[in-house]
Amino acid sequence: MKLEHARWPDLPSLSDKIFVVPLGSLEQHGKHLPVFTDSLIIGNIAERVETLRTDRVVMLPVQWLGHSPHHRKFGCVSLDLFPYIELIRGLCRSLIAIGARRILLLNGHGGNDIPCKAALRELKSEFESLPELYIAYATYWNLAAAEFTAIRESPAGGMGHACEMETSILLAAHPGLVDTSKAVRGGPSPERGFRTIDMLQGEPFFMINEFHEFSETGVIGMPDFATAEKGELFLDAAAQAVVRFLDEFSRWDFQTRSSS
């Protein structure tokens, strides 16, 4: 079900369900995609997941405000690091107060990664007296990495930001918002070795960079590989992967067993 459709007397009866919080952003996505791309994509995935598991999940509205300081030179609406950590903590506290004991932060923007993980560390300490509380954070392209690898046609460096995958999904779900005539490649390409950036191939090092330092176009990847047909495949694969995770997540009991 969707949380926004519930009435307050209904809330106590939802405590046995998984509360899913879709996380997006509002930031530049090259010259060919809208700034709301991440939020549109995670919203579409969330809709599919809610339809597939409407009796087992409570789906929250998309939290569109993300942590995107690295996009400031191109354009974004961003919440700084510590305020975003507190936003996630406050959001989870509210869900816990109405009875939630399983929460999934379903992420659709890479910049949310660091603050969300920091927030989960703080929440774990804050609620150490609730071993029945399970809070997980997962990004959809990591959950569906194997399926996305099978769907993609671009080489390493082809999927990162406003890329083959994101452009394909927008072509499938919101074609009127895509200007393919302005789609150009960007970012470190495969010959850059360790500096090659690809969402399905994690870098073996960590470094903070602003987006304009490695992309003149606001793009990382190869949007010229995008098609609406692949977009539908990516969307279906993402939704199915999230559902598989939720089905397993619903059965986890290792915290309560270890505390008994």
Query: Which residues have a Cβ under 8 Å from the Cβ of 20 and sit 6 or more positions away?
Result: 46, 49, 50, 57, 58, 59, 60, 103, 104, 106, 246
CATH 3.40.50.10310 is the classification of domain 3-254: yes
Contact between residue 160 and residue 199 where contact means Cβ atoms under 8 Å apart: yes
Residue 226 reports pLDDT greater than 90: yes
pTM above 0.75, yes or no: yes
| The two three-digit tokens of residue 149, written as one number | 């690898």
Residue 140 reports pLDDT greater than 80: yes
Residue 181 reports pLDDT greater than 90: yes
**Model confidence band, residue 125 (pLDDT cutoffs 50, 70, 90):** very high
Residue 24 reports pLDDT greater than 90: yes
Residue 160 reports pLDDT greater than 90: yes
Who has greater pLDDT, 188 or 150?
Answer: 150
Residue 218 reports pLDDT greater than 90: yes
d(CA 250, CA 229): 32
The predicted pLDDT at position 119 comes to 98
How many C-beta atoms surround the C-beta of residue 53 within 10 A?
Answer: 20
Q: Where are the domains of the chain?
A: 3-254
Residue 115 reports pLDDT greater than 90: yes
Residue 98 reports pLDDT greater than 90: yes
Residue 162 reports pLDDT greater than 90: yes
Q: E-strand spans in the chain?
A: 18-23, 26-27, 57-59, 76-77, 102-107, 134-139, 159-161, 220-221
Q: What percent of the chain has pLDDT over 70?
A: 98
Residue 173 reports pLDDT greater than 90: yes
The predicted pLDDT at position 190 comes to 60
The predicted pLDDT at position 213 comes to 87
Residue 137 reports pLDDT greater than 80: yes
What torsion, rounded to 10 degrees, do the Cα atoms 196, 158, 188, 199 define? Answer: -50
Residue 260 reports pLDDT greater than 70: no
List, in sequence order, every residue forming a beta bridge with 134; answer none if it has no partner: 102
Burial bucket for residue 224 (CB in 10 Å: 0-12, 13-18, 19+): middle
* pLDDT tens for each residue of 184-210: 999 876 666 777 788 998 878 888 889
* pLDDT tens for each residue of 38-65: 999 999 999 999 999 999 999 999 999 9
